[in-house]
Amino acid sequence: MNTYLDCFPCFLRQAIEASRMVIDDEGVQRGVLNVVMEKMSTFSLTATPPEMARVIHQTIREMTGSDDPYRLVKERSNEKALALYPKMKELVGTSGNPLLVSCKLATTGNSIDFGVPSSSFRDYHSLVESALSSPFKVDHFDEFVGCLSHASSLLYLGDNAGEIVFDRVFIEEMRSFKDIDVIFVVRGGPIINDATYEDARYVAMDKVAKVISNGTDYPGTVMRCCSREVQGLLRSADLIIAKGQGNYESIDGDRKNLFHLFKVKCPLVANQLKVDVNDMVFLNRAGWGSE
């Protein structure tokens, strides 16, 4: 997905919010905005939004002296989500369709995103409560179940801290449904509130999947910049789940084994998919447009 002029105000909002998380000096904050605006003026609109965001957040880290402005945010997100883990397991275990409910939980967990203007993610309990009543506005769940039934390997491209607890519940149900090897991919370095290896270990993701880094700090999956291991897995895995809007924006292609799972947070993406902001989608691009 290319970047649009409409993306620029969002980049500026991220710059000021991240700067304020780690430094109170308004002079430094203004300096960050000045440099970000200067760099934005040179951006090519053919690049993806995650590629732009990486440049912006590198600038923020350099100018504020903080290697991870969102560290405390991620720690709190993981703790809050872990506190709800027993409730999520109970909800899944007492449902008539555990796989579907765990999938919806994973999708509602995608609300925990500090890269977009939102307040809904602050109420973690409401995310769990809304899982059963929230439909997929793009619904390729049945196609996914068919692929899962025949797969022996699953590559799960993770997204945000806190959210990965919801992902863990989904992965546990997939492994109950089908004996499958799961590799969970995290970011190679701090970027916004995206999950890193440390976050995955903290929530015990390594107990249900092999956790690896993608080797980059893009807030998405820019394949040419990923490690050779991840590039190979993207080509060879039987089944791929790409979690979050950043992965949707940065991964091209319409392979039948690739499914995007996220909540829509951007009007531009909503317009592409013919849905509304905050809608949930479970999208296989190979089937999109034939409905």
Q: Which tens digit of pLDDT belongs to each residue from 5-26? A: 999 999 999 999 999 999 999 9
- Quote the radius of gyration of the chain (alpha carbons, Å): 18
**pLDDT for 287:** 66
Task: For residues 132 and 31, state if they share a domain.
Answer: no
**pLDDT for 280:** 95
| Residue bearing tokens 């910049």 | 225
List of long-range contacts for 144-150, beta carbons under 8 Å, 24+ apart = 144/103, 144/259, 144/282, 144/284, 145/99, 147/238, 147/239, 147/256, 147/257, 147/259, 148/174, 148/177, 148/178, 148/180, 148/239, 149/178, 150/238
Task: For residues 12 and 112, state if they share a domain.
Answer: no
Is residue 289 assigned to a domain? no
Task: For residues 211 and 240, state if they share a domain.
Answer: yes
Task: For residues 114 and 51, state if they share a domain.
Answer: no
**pLDDT for 117:** 63
Nearest alpha carbon to residue 22 among 78, 61, 79: 61
**pLDDT for 120:** 43
Query: What's the average model confidence in pLDDT over 38-66?
Result: 93
**Domain final residue, candidates 64, 88, 114:** 64
pTM above 0.85, yes or no: yes
Task: For residues 16 and 157, state if they share a domain.
Answer: no
Task: For residues 59 and 14, state if they share a domain.
Answer: yes
Q: What's the total number of domains in the chain?
A: 2
**pLDDT for 125:** 78
Is residue 262 assigned to a domain? yes
What is the extent of the structural domain holding 254? Answer: 79-283
Query: What's the average model confidence in pLDDT over 189-218?
Result: 97
Task: For residues 159 and 279, state if they share a domain.
Answer: yes
Is residue 73 assigned to a domain? no
Is residue 290 assigned to a domain? no
Task: For residues 247 and 121, state if they share a domain.
Answer: yes
Mean pLDDT taken over the chain? 92
Is residue 232 assigned to a domain? yes
Question: For residue 291, what is the enclosing H or E element?
Answer: none
288 pLDDT band, cuts 50/70/90, is low
Task: For residues 164 and 269, state if they share a domain.
Answer: yes
Between CA 180 and CA 154 the distance in angstroms is: 7
**pLDDT for 127:** 80
Task: For residues 54 and 165, state if they share a domain.
Answer: no
Question: Are 217 and 189 contacting, i.e. CB atoms less than 8 angstroms apart?
Answer: yes
Alpha-carbon distances of 133 from 43, 123, 128, 234, rounded to whole Å: 41, 16, 10, 33
253 pLDDT band, cuts 50/70/90, is confident
